[in-house]
């Protein structure tokens, strides 16, 4: 079971991820509406702090090609795309794409299922980064494919084991569920607990 911790805003949080040897680290880019949005300088600091073996993911909403090119230059390994994913982006991206679905747009899956540059699908709740779950039953009969199935949306240290038992995804993805009680920054204890609980059940 792979683990993705999203919405990093500091190098201190990057160190928590190194200590847990997680698989993916997400940073929200070019989406100022999010409290987790970071600029290019901060992204560079965080990328330089993360261990080499942790995949760096730029988390975006309907990015422009210009933004995608900046993301590539910064050294991200993947780009996660919520909202619109234009053909021009697919054709001109040099890094693999994780296409995110936010419940209502899941019926667009067929348009993307055979695109080689898309290496995985993130199944998320209606509002990205809201910490809310969605009805996992909608995914129970979803066809398995060779692309990564990443389950996101309201996961936390308490429900992650059950989510893995119910859906057996390739990767579990969390942001809000490992934040401090005041909603600012990530909690080292919650990250540790999330990783322990996810790994315990998937062994
Ligand atoms: O975190 C955000 O603010 C965000 C903004 C824009 C797109 C995606 C965003 N978050 C992603 O949403 C999922 C689930 O988050 P949560 O655990 O429910 O808070 C995750 O992939 C985040 O990176």
Which among 65, 67, 73 is positioned nearest to 90, based on CA atoms?
65
Whether ligand 1 lies within 6 angstroms of the CB of 157 is answered as no
Whether ligand 1 lies within 6 angstroms of the CB of 98 is answered as no
**Tens of pLDDT, residues 64-113:** 999 999 999 999 999 999 999 999 999 999 999 999 999 989 999 999 99
Distance from Cα 88 to the centre of ligand 1, integer Å: 24
Whether ligand 1 lies within 6 angstroms of the CB of 190 is answered as no
pLDDT for position 142: 82
Distance from Cα 173 to the centre of ligand 1, integer Å: 9
CA 21 to chain CA centroid, Å, is: 16
The answer, yes or no, to whether ipTM is higher than 0.95 is yes
pLDDT for position 202: 82
Using most ligand atoms within 8 A of CB, pick from 152, 155, 156, 191 the residue to mutate for ligand 1. Answer: 152
Name the residue with the closest Cα to ligand 1, atom 1: 129
Instruction: Give the span between the Cα atoms of 181 and 113, in whole angstroms.
Output: 38
Q: Are 99 and 114 in contact (CB under 8 A)?
A: no
In angstroms, the Cα distances linking 130 to 89, 140, 168 are 26, 22, 22
Distance from Cα 30 to the centre of ligand 1, integer Å: 13
Q: Tell me which long-range contacts 32-40 makes (C-beta under 8 A, separation of at least 24).
A: 34/7, 34/129, 35/183, 35/184, 36/6, 36/7, 36/8, 36/9, 36/129, 36/175, 38/8, 38/9, 40/70, 40/74
pLDDT for position 143: 83
pLDDT of 140 higher than 90? no
pLDDT for position 144: 82
Whether ligand 1 lies within 6 angstroms of the CB of 31 is answered as yes
Top-confidence residue, 140 or 193: 193
pTM of the full predicted structure?
0.97
Whether ligand 1 lies within 6 angstroms of the CB of 56 is answered as no
Q: Looking at the domain covering 2-202, what would its CATH class be?
A: alpha beta
- Residue written as tokens 């994780």? 98
């Amino acid at each position: 079971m792979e683990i993705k911790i999203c919405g990093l805003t500091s190098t201190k949080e990057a160190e928590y991820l190194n200590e847990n040897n997680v698989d993916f680290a997400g940073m929200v880019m070019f989406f100022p509406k999010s409290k987790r949005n970071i600029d290019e300088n901060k992204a560079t600091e965080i990328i330089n702090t993360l261990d080499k073996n942790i995949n760096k993911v730029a988390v975006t909403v309907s990015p422009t090609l210009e933004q995608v090119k900046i993301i590539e230059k910064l050294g991200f390994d993947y780009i996660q795309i919520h909202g619109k994913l234009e053909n021009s982006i697919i054709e001109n991206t040099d890094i693999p794409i994780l296409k995110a679905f936010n419940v209502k747009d899941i019926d667009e899956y067929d348009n993307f299922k055979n695109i080689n540059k898309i290496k995985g699908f993130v199944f998320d709740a209606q509002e990205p980064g809201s910490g809310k779950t969605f009805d996992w039953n909608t995914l129970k009969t979803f066809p398995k494919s060779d692309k990564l199935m990443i389950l996101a949306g309201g996961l936390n240290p308490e429900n992650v084991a059950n989510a893995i038992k119910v859906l057996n995804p390739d990767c579990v993805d969390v942001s809000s569920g490992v934040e401090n009680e005041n909603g600012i920054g990530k909690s080292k204890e919650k990250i540790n607990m999330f990783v322990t609980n996810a790994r315990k059940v998937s062994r």
